[in-house]
Amino acid sequence: MMGVHPSHVVGEKYIDAIVDGSHALAMLLPALGARQSSDEVLSVIDGLLLTGSYSNIEPHRYGGHESEHGTLHDAARDATTLPLLRAAIAAGVPVLAICRGFQEMNVAFGGSLNQRVHTTKGFNDHRENQENGLDTQYGPAHSIALMPGGLLQRVAHGMKEARVNSLHAQGIERLGEGLTIEATAPDGLIEAVSVTGARVFALGLQWHPEWKRASNALSTAIFRAFGAACRARMSSRTGRATASAVVTHDCAGRASKQNNTERKNHA
């Protein structure tokens, strides 16, 4: 809600990461649920970014218990992203899923979520202190171990460990069928997944790589790889060497010609 008005919005940090990091055209896809066809959307985009959000997935989507009082939900986003995500991967559209998007990827493949990681025995508190400034909230919070030979490690040019931020209360409980673990936190919480056997780039991250992307080697590599996958998708779809990505409900993408050639929008 923007005041009293229901609104469809995307944070500028995601747009900047797509425009400057992936060299693509960032475009907002409204959360219209059943009012929009996944096939129609996918016919005109070359990448899908599922962003973080203040809202959480409704528990009934994964057989969870009722959320605690005060938890924000967005039924329209759930109805949009969950079917769209699977359709995108089936259609060969590159997907990058961040925070809420990461959790959507797990739920879309039949997984479940732990709604209170910080109260679960064996896990650390992965929430940010909202009284701190943004630089502290989004600063490195813990390490992750990248799975040897996985998609994320290949994207990261062989990196074995990295430091990431941590701004979430929920996390993966049961891994979705058809997903592969790409990174874990020291307490064992899953921090990154990929879609097993996907034809194109399909990666989910629990942390926020878009925050100050240009100063972080891992984040830079992730957005470059996503952009390259988007350009490959456009080339195969149109025969032209440009790319367009879309971020959904908090969502985006950018079409840009290389070598000073003409730009064209595709969504």
Catalytic residue IDs:
99, 208, 210
How far are the Cα atoms of 5, 141, 145, 193 from residue 186, in angstroms, in the given order?
A: 42, 11, 8, 16
Identify whether the C-beta of residue 156 lies closer than 8 Å to the C-beta of residue 218. Answer: yes
For residue 50 the two structure tokens come to 């599922």
For residue 189 the two structure tokens come to 């919480």
Torsion angles phi and psi, residue 173, rounded to 5: -100, -60
Alpha carbons 20 and 254: distance in angstroms, whole number: 9
Q: With residue 221 as reference, give the H or E element that holds it.
A: helix 217-238
Alpha carbons 110 and 123: distance in angstroms, whole number: 22
